Amino acid sequence: MSAFLHDALRGLVLVGGLIAFGVALRAAYAWRDERERVGLVMALALLMLLGMGLNLAAFGAARPGAGWTGWLRIATDAALPVLVLLLLQAMRRRVLAAERAALASPFDPVTDLARRPLFLRHAATTLALCRQTRVPATMLAVAIDDPAALEAAHGKEARRAALRGLAGVLADALGPADPTGMLAEDVPGALLAGQDIVAARATAARLSALVREQVADPRMDGRGLGVSIGLAAVGDGAEQAVLEEAASGALRALAGAQAAGGAAIGEAPAPPPRRATAP
């Protein structure tokens, strides 16, 4: 009877080890782009394999005269999968906390550019100066063509590296008078001060050529990185409202350019005429 109970408990410990091993493999796959994290998780998985092997070897250890050591080993062996699961849970909580902190930050963690709310606040100051000097302004949105396919083929870090390269070229290509930031996830943008839609089209073509020249495509086939660009003129009206309108228009124009095959420049319809200030 004692041998049967001993082996039954060993079976439960083995099941716990299998569960912990499966959770470790699942975590390694989820974090496959984070080398250090994957290395630690795989070490835990190998530790679980060793623990399960030792647990299998201990079946039948509680025979008459074996003493209490076989029962004590059950407790120590059962502690291993519990410890591994607790460590994996702690790692998951740290990852979630880091992601929440990144989302709460006013800056994008990949490009270091201001996220949309902060970017549009900076752009409002620039737009006010444009209105004082009576010059136009155009919103520009730029994105990598088919980033989902890029990530699927080469991993998340390849997509991030391409996005960082794109954001760097955007910031370098424009002057200090043109604020830059993130209009959406993976979509940097800029307010082109003093440029109407015709001048902005030329700037967009120059930017696209610079990206192809300076940022290598992660597919390593000799091509430069392909991007699409959306443009939207900033209309009259309350500054924050018309900037939101232009940002949304540029994103729609960008989506249209990508839907047409990519490597293109799209333009949003001209904004409706309205008064610059409320009466």
Token readout for 215 is 């940022």
pLDDT confidence of residue 80:
76
Whether 236 maps to a domain, the answer reads: yes
Same domain, residue pair 175 and 250: yes
pLDDT confidence of residue 36:
74
- For residue 180, what is the domain's CATH number? 3.30.70.270
> Does the model's pTM come out above 0.75?
no
Q: Are strands 227-233 and 265-267 parallel, antiparallel or unpaired?
A: parallel
Same domain, residue pair 203 and 253: yes
Strand order in the sheet with 187-193: 180-184, 187-193, 137-144, 227-233, 265-267
Residue 125 has a CB neighbour count (10 Å cut-off) of 12
Whether 179 maps to a domain, the answer reads: yes
pLDDT confidence of residue 164:
93
> pLDDT digit of tens for each residue in the chain (279 aa)?
566 676 677 677 778 778 887 888 888 777 776 777 778 888 877 877 777 776 666 665 555 444 556 666 677 777 777 888 888 888 888 877 776 765 667 889 899 999 999 999 999 999 999 999 999 999 999 999 888 788 877 888 888 899 999 999 999 999 888 999 999 989 999 999 999 999 999 999 999 999 999 998 776 666 788 899 999 999 998 899 999 999 999 999 999 999 998 899 999 999 887 665 444
Same domain, residue pair 30 and 139: no
Report d(CA 147, CA 221) in Å as an integer: 16
* Residue of 186, 195, 170, 203 lying closest to 246 (CA atoms): 195
Q: Cα 179–169–141 angle (5° rounding)?
A: 55
Residue 220 one-letter amino acid: M
- Residue 263: left (phi > 0), alpha (psi -120 to 50), or beta? left
Which domain, by its residues, includes 47?
Answer: 1-61+69-104
pLDDT confidence of residue 65:
45
Same domain, residue pair 92 and 129: no
Token readout for 135 is 């010059």
Same domain, residue pair 154 and 204: yes
